[in-house]
Structure 1
Amino acid sequence: MKTVIFIPARYASTRYPGKPLVTLKGATGETKSLIQRALEAAKQVKGVDAVYVLTDDARIREAAQAFGADVLMTSDKARNGTERCAEGLAQLPEEPKVVVNLQGDAPLTPPWFVEALIAAMENPAVQMSTPVLKCDHETLSNFVSDRQAGRVGGTTAVLRRDGNAIYFSKEVLPYVSNLETPPEVWHHVGVYAYRPTALANYMSWEEGPVERAEGLEQLRFLENGVPVTCVPVEARGRVFWELNNPVDVARIEGVLKKEGIA
């Protein structure tokens, strides 16, 4: 296999327990679980050899298998999706060249976001890549309102001139003093592409203080001196938003209806 997509999903989310099984109503009125919608998003990506749901929870396994997903069971020791991907990789019959981590709370991820990551991995110097999306006014307003309300919403990325990441944060960075004339803010899209060696290295490192403080798994690479290649992508008119809090259900259902996604 050249490329495999893993969809890590855990039931015991601190902010939103049972999140993968939350149902979302599509444009036709049909409801599907969050994990099913994530799988359907993964299946739209071109050039992928296999897609697996990774979980340590029997309820998620049973729900995923009921709609035809291939499931790999991982341990309850995995602290984040990247560690879960490393465990999933160890179970494959052959090692792929690229592992994609499409997080189970991002069903609105367009296929071209993931395809751009896979293309970036053609550069042998890139150990891992992740997409970033320039915030439009609506997304930035959602970020700011979430933080003002004390909610942790999406993640922002601060980039170097060469496109590698300086930092990722659940705060809105850089600081936005005025929504009418805001600075350039990059929304980090929770998808990653790794080389198997990068995943192996990740598992050999301890969780660092910055990763622990932010709760962002990709910071472990930065804390250990591994560049994170940020790939700018375009929304092409589609609103991107992850399901982080209960308030996001209505936001995502609104996009499903607007985009005509069943």
Structure 2
Amino acid sequence: MPDLIVIPARYGSTRLPGKPLVEIAGKTLLSRVVAVAREGARRAGNAEIVVATDDARILDHAHALGCDAVLTASAITSGSGRAWAAARDRAPEIVVNLQGDAPFVDPAMIAALIGALRDSSSAVATPVVQLDWDTLDAMRAHKQTSPFSGTTCVRDSEGRALWFSKIILPAMRNEAQLREASALSPVFRHIGLYAYRFAALREFEATPPTPYEQLEGLEQLRFLESGVEIRTVTVAPPRHAMSGIDTPADVALAERLIAQFGEPEHAWR
């Protein structure tokens, strides 16, 4: 059974209705994410792609793109829930949850996460970026006005996640000396892309939200609070550095990044 890359693509969005069908520099958001998934599947090998949506218009668009797609219940509120709904009848060994509003994910990250699970006994894999000091300073400044934007990860020497938080972790004594010693800070920023073993995703969906998950608003803490290992994979900082597309302002920013850095596909070759 091939591994499965699921693209959750919900029509309803209070800030950007019909988001997967919105055009960014002449291409729909969904078409851009499908292109990411296809390249990730090609690099990983033995992987299939499916769009999981709640709307027939998105289903039709996915089919027009030549991509497999399934209708899932509109009551599902999370990407992991929609990924599970799409994967449960197929029972692949590994399920990748590639959010449908993330057009700038590097396909190499998808292949790296699949590879990390194929080569280990870990239940979940997710990417992190080690921040240089300038990027850390920018993150600190941004959190002054948007404290719940951006997630950090603390991990052990073998890459196992110890914790995720909206607070910048770890706290640092003697930061001045650390800055002199290395161009990279000890802070890792989490990128919201996940690969799960099928059984781990099934158990996750059967487990109610946990206390720290609810406090931080981070669903991956449900795994850690349940004693499930998450393997982190260090990746290079993305060239088009932005989070998901949620508002018209995000669309405009994405178009500016494409104008500045070129189409993402150009960097994949």
TM range (shorter): 0.7 to 0.9
After superposition, give the CA deviation of every residue in 1:28-51 in whole Å (9 maximum; x if it has no partner): xxx222222111111111114311
Q: Which amino acid aligns with 1:224?
A: S
Give yes or no for contact 2:3–2:46 (8 Å, CA) kept in 1.
yes
Which residue number corresponds to residue 98 of structure 2?
102
After superposition, give the CA deviation of every residue in 1:180-202 in whole Å (9 maximum; x if it has no partner): 95843212112111111111111
After superposition, give the CA deviation of every residue in 1:92-148 in whole Å (9 maximum; x if it has no partner): 3xx322111111222111111111111111234111111111224665455334422
Does 1:128 find its partner at 2:129? no
Give yes or no for contact 2:128–2:189 (8 Å, CA) kept in 1.
yes
Q: Which amino acid aligns with 2:72?
A: T
For 1:86-101, what aligned pairs fall within 5 Å after superposition? 86-92=84-90, 95-101=91-97
Give yes or no for contact 2:240–2:261 (8 Å, CA) kept in 1.
no
**Inter-partner Cα distance in structure 1 for 2:168 and 2:138:** 10
Does 1:5 find its partner at 2:1? no
Q: Among residues 167, 187, 191, which one is paired with 2:189 in the alignment?
A: 187
**Inter-partner Cα distance in structure 2 for 1:252 and 1:126:** 34
SS of residue in 1 equivalent to 2:202: helix
**Inter-partner Cα distance in structure 2 for 1:248 and 1:170:** 21
1:213 CA drift (Å): 2.8
1:89 CA drift (Å): 1.0
For 1:76-225, what aligned pairs fall within 5 Å after superposition? 76-92=74-90, 95-136=91-132, 139-140=135-136, 143-150=139-146, 152-174=148-170, 183-225=185-227
List alignment gaps of at least 5 residues for structure 2.
Answer: 265-269
After superposition, give the CA deviation of every residue in 1:5-52 in whole Å (9 maximum; x if it has no partner): 101122334665543333322xxxxx2222221111111111143111
After superposition, give the CA deviation of every residue in 1:45-101 in whole Å (9 maximum; x if it has no partner): 111431111112334323333333321111233331112111111233xx3221111
**Inter-partner Cα distance in structure 2 for 1:226 and 1:61:** 34
Which residue number corresponds to residue 44 of structure 1?
39
Q: Among residues 53, 57, 60, which one is paired with 2:58 in the alignment?
A: 60
List alignment gaps of at least 5 residues for structure 1.
Answer: 26-30
Q: Which amino acid aligns with 1:20?
A: P
1:240 CA drift (Å): 3.5
Q: How many residues are paired up?
A: 254
Does 1:243 find its partner at 2:251? no
**Inter-partner Cα distance in structure 1 for 2:16 and 2:154:** 27
Give yes or no for contact 1:53–1:71 (8 Å, CA) kept in 2.
yes
SS of residue in 2 equivalent to 1:184: strand
Which residue number corresponds to residue 19 of structure 2?
19
Q: Which amino acid aligns with 2:22?
A: V
Q: Describe the shift of the 1:7–1:141 C-alpha distance in structure 2 as closer, same or farther (beyond 3 A).
A: farther
Structure 1 window deviating more from structure 2 (76-85 vs 103-112): it is 76-85
User: What TM-score, normalized by structure 1, do the two folds share?
Assistant: 0.83
Give yes or no for contact 1:153–1:244 (8 Å, CA) kept in 2.
no
**Inter-partner Cα distance in structure 1 for 2:168 and 2:215:** 15
If you compute each CA radius of gyration, which structure gives the higher value, 1 or 2? Answer: 2
